[in-house]
Amino acid sequence: MKRVVITGLGAITPLGNSVDTFWKHLTEGKSGAKLITKFDPQNFKTKFACEVEDFDIEAYLPKKEARKMDDYTQLAVGAADACMQDCSFDENWDTSKVGVIWASGIGGIHTFEEELINFAKNPEQPRFNPFFITKMIPNMAAGQLSIRYGLRGVSYATVSACTSSNNAIADAFNFIRLGKAKAILTGGSEAPITRTAVGGFNASKALSTNNENYLTASRPFDQSRDGFVMGEGAGALMLEELEHAKARGAKIYAELTGCGCASDAYHITASHPEGVGAEQAMREALAEAEIKPEHVDYINAHATSTPVGDLSECKAISKLFSQSLDRVHVSATKSMTGHLLGAAGAIEAIACIKAIENSLIPPTINLENLDPEIDPNLQLTLNKAVSKEVQVALNNTFGFGGHIAVSVFKKYEE
């Protein structure tokens, strides 16, 4: 099997539109929550979200081209451009061996909403944007990125709700280590702060409605948590076969050594109450990476701030790491970024990689009263970043439908 390393990163997030800014604000414990500006939320149960600010697509694309893309694809372009620059992509790459596997849980929901509203206003004389379908479908970010950089290798999208971009990373990992690609641009993007998405998640009772305290509403592990805070953005990673990266003198951030995928097979929205699938996926990821639980330094928990989800994940961690709970740090970065749905796995993979690079574990903020059902021995890294050498980091993601994916990042060594 080939070894797989990360040689490029890019991010557009509620905490900043570069990896450095995102990481700075993440380690400072900054909340990305704010009142919704994308639409008037007055008649909605939830009136806040974690929005991306100051993102201008015309800095990347001519206005005419940008209008052919939904917001989620525009965010993908922003993150991917930064990643391609970071990994020093140029004309010397054999693009027949470079692919794109890009994720989105929802895809072009803004476009879908806009077109249906226009149709409903005049159903007798329907008029649709000629780019309606190509803007909406969730594979189009992958297609647009492939076209943009001339990447002629494998190209497709993964859609598995909030596990989507971690599944994309796992697929990219497998293509490269099996020798089917030299490098793959992977990650995910999501732009779900729309009336239909917020209204739909409100109807399913998944979103926090703590409008009076929106800055601290994303409070994983807290006894008073009442749902997740919607987020938007994109995260991009360049995964590369080690020898290919070394041959061109690439900077190597970390190595991806294992991935585990499983299903709770339990409920359409709720995690298994005992964390059965989560424990299985983490165990399989570590086995593939040939790493024992006691050698893990950091877990970026999925921890969305939902009552059932946080508790089940904590139970899984307590079981699998029962012999090393005193040394493995756990943090919930969604307490700051909100939940980026299909893009969450990519953004949190970047957080894991930066933790390895900087020997610094980002905090969990907003926790005031620990849920008494959560193991008090868990090192939840509260309120302040913790300096600690990180050799191994786990990235957990879970999605509606019971989908689970876990990736293992390790400090690169010759």
**226-248, pLDDT tens digit by residue?**
999 999 999 999 999 999 999 99
Two tokens, residue 2 = 């080939």
pLDDT at residue 414, rounded to an integer: 85
Q: What length does the chain have?
A: 414
**251-303, pLDDT tens digit by residue?**
999 999 999 999 999 999 999 999 999 999 999 999 999 999 999 999 999 99
pLDDT at residue 136, rounded to an integer: 97
CA pair distance 96, 301, nearest whole angstrom:
36
**Contact status, residue 340 vs residue 231, Cβ threshold 8 Å:** yes
Q: Which regions of the chain are under pLDDT 70?
A: none
Range 4-247 classified under CATH 3.40.47.10 = yes
83 is catalytic: no
Q: What CATH class does 258-410 carry?
A: alpha beta
The kind and range of the H/E element at 72 are: helix 71-86
Q: What is the DSSP letter of 363?
A: P
Q: What is the DSSP letter of 3?
A: -
Which residue among the candidates 50, 83, 87, 162 is catalytic per the annotation? 162
How is the chain split into domains, by residue range?
A: 4-247, 258-410
